[in-house]
Structure 1
Amino acid sequence: MKVALVHATTTALNPIEDAFRKIAPEIDLLHFMDTHLLSMLEESGSLTPEIARRFSKLISLAAESRPDCIQLTCSAFNPLTSILQPLCRVKMFRSDEAMLDKALQYERIGLISTVKETPDALIDYLQARQPNCSIESIVDPGIIHLLFQGKQKEHDERVRTMIAEMDGKVDVIVLSQYSLAHVANQVETSVPLLIAPEATAKRCFEYILQK
C-alpha cells in the first residue's frame, strides 16, 4: 500500500506522518513538495494559472509513482483538485475533506486559519455540501511563517487566542491546517475541536482497503 503526499509547506510533514504511523503504519508514504507555491499564493492572493500549472507538475510526479491514492496536505490549494482530478487516473483527496465531513454534522462551524487564502477554500467545500450551514471564520494571516522561523511558542499562543475567541460561538471548531494540529493538545474547549491529519489518514486507509 502506497500513498503519495503533496505538500506546499514543511509544517505538514510531521503531523501527517504521525497520523499515518498511528492509523496505518503499513502504508508507504511518498512525499512531493514545492515550498515556493505558498509564496506565490501569498503574493498573488489567488490561485493563478501559474500556480495551477506548477501544482499540476507535483500531481503528475505523484501519479507517476503509482500510488493507491494522492493526498494533499495544504488546504489553500484544495480547489485545484476539482480541476486536476479529471486529468489524473489516481484518486486525489483534498487535505481537509475528511475533517470537514465531520464538521458538517454540526450546525454552526468555526474555522481557525493562519493563511489568508485557506478559509475560502474550506467555506466553498462546506457550502457546496450544506448551503445553509452557518460558518464563522477567524484568520491571523501569515503567522504560519513563525513556525518557519522557529517561533513555535509565539505561533501557538496566537492560535490559542483565536480558539478562545471562537469557543462558545459555534458548535464545532475546525483547525484548518495541518500546521495547527499540535495546538489541539494545548487547549480545552467547550465544543469539539477537529484536526485533519488523523481523519485524513483514516480515509486514505479505508479507501485503499475498499479498492
Structure 2
Amino acid sequence: MKICLISATTASLAPIEKALKEVAPEVEYVHLLDSSLLKQLKEKGQIDEQITLRFDTLITLAVDAKCDGVLFTCSAFNDLANYFDEKFTIPIVRSDQGLINELLQYDNVGIVSTVKETPPVLISSLKKVRPDQIIKTVVEDGLIHLAEKGDFESHDKILQGHIDSLAEEVEVIGLSQFSIAHLKGQVQINKPIIDPAQTAVKEIIKRINESA
C-alpha cells in the first residue's frame, strides 16, 4: 500500500510520519508539499479556482506515482478532498475525517485550532450529521507559525492552557490539526483527547482497503 500525503505546511510532516509509523509501519508513503497554499488562502479569504487547480495538479502527481490513495494533511483545505474524491478513481481523504467520526459520538465537543480557517470546515461537517451537537472552539490563529519555526515551547504552553480550560466545558477535545497532535501526550485532563493524525491514518487505510 502506497499513500500520498499532500501538505500545505511543514508543521504537518513530522506528526503524520509519526502516526504512520505507530499505526501502520508497513505502509509506504510519499510527500507532496506546497507551502504557499496557506498564505494564498489567507490572502484570498477563500478557496478559489487557482487553489483548486493547484490541488488538482498535486493529486495528479500522486496518481502518476501509483499511489493507492491521497491523504490531505492540512485541515483548512479539507472541503477540496470531498470534491476531488468524486473526481479521481483513488480515495482522496480529508485530514479530519477520522476525527469527525470520533467526535460524532459525543454531544458536547471542544475543538482546538491554530488556523482560523480550520474550525468552520470541521464544524460544518459535524453539523451536517448532528445539527444538535454542541461545539465549542478555541482558536489561536497564526500560532502555527511558531511550530513551523520549531518554537514548540511557546506554542505548546499557550495551547495547553486553552485545553485545560476547555476540558471543563466539554466531553471530549478534538485537536483539529496534525501540527498540534503531539499535545495529546502532554496534557493531563480527565477527558478524552482525539489525535487527528492517528485517526486520519486509520481512515485512509480503511478507504483504500474498501476500494481495492
Which category describes the TM-score, using the shorter chain as reference length? over 0.9
Q: Which whole-Å CA distance do the structure 2 matches of 1:183 and 1:5 have between them?
A: 21
Q: Structure 1 vs Structure 2: percent identity of aligned residues? A: 37
Give me the TM-score of the superposition, normalised by structure 2.
0.95
Which residue is equivalent to 2:143?
Answer: 143
Which residue is equivalent to 1:184?
Answer: 184
Which residue is equivalent to 2:163?
Answer: 163
| Greater mean alpha carbon deviation, residues 196-205 or residues 175-184 | 196-205
- Cα offset for 1:82? 2.2
Which residue is equivalent to 1:2?
Answer: 2
Contact kept? 1:168, 1:190, Cα under 8 Å: no
Which residue is equivalent to 1:55?
Answer: 55
Q: Which whole-Å CA distance do the structure 1 matches of 2:157 and 2:110 have between them?
A: 18
Which residue is equivalent to 1:27?
Answer: 27
- Cα offset for 1:21? 1.1
1:52-201 map, 5 Å = 52-201=52-201
Cα deviation per residue 1:46-98 (whole Å; 9 max; x = unaligned)? 21222222222112211222211111111100011222222211111110111
- Cα offset for 1:195? 1.2
Which residue type is aligned with residue 68 of structure 2? D
Which residue type is aligned with residue 85 of structure 2? Q
Which residue is equivalent to 2:206?
Answer: 206
Which residue type is aligned with residue 39 of structure 1? K
Q: Which whole-Å CA distance do the structure 1 matches of 2:143 and 2:183 have between them?
A: 14
Aligned alpha-carbon RMSD (Å): 1.3
Which residue type is aligned with residue 184 of structure 2? A
- Cα offset for 1:165? 2.1
Structure 2 stretches of 5 or more lacking a match?
none
- Cα offset for 1:131? 1.6
Q: Which whole-Å CA distance do the structure 2 matches of 1:10 and 1:205 have between them?
A: 23
| Greater mean alpha carbon deviation, residues 44-53 or residues 97-106 | 44-53
Q: Which whole-Å CA distance do the structure 1 matches of 2:78 and 2:190 have between them?
A: 29
Which residue type is aligned with residue 38 of structure 1? L
| Greater mean alpha carbon deviation, residues 188-197 or residues 41-50 | 41-50
Structure 1 stretches of 5 or more lacking a match?
none
How many residues matched? 211
Which residue type is aligned with residue 73 of structure 2? T
Which residue type is aligned with residue 40 of structure 1? Q
Question: Matched residue of 1:137: which SS?
Answer: strand
Question: Matched residue of 2:30: which SS?
Answer: strand
**Is 2:19 aligned against 1:13?**
no
Give me the TM-score of the superposition, normalised by structure 1.
0.95
Q: Which whole-Å CA distance do the structure 1 matches of 2:207 and 2:97 have between them?
A: 13
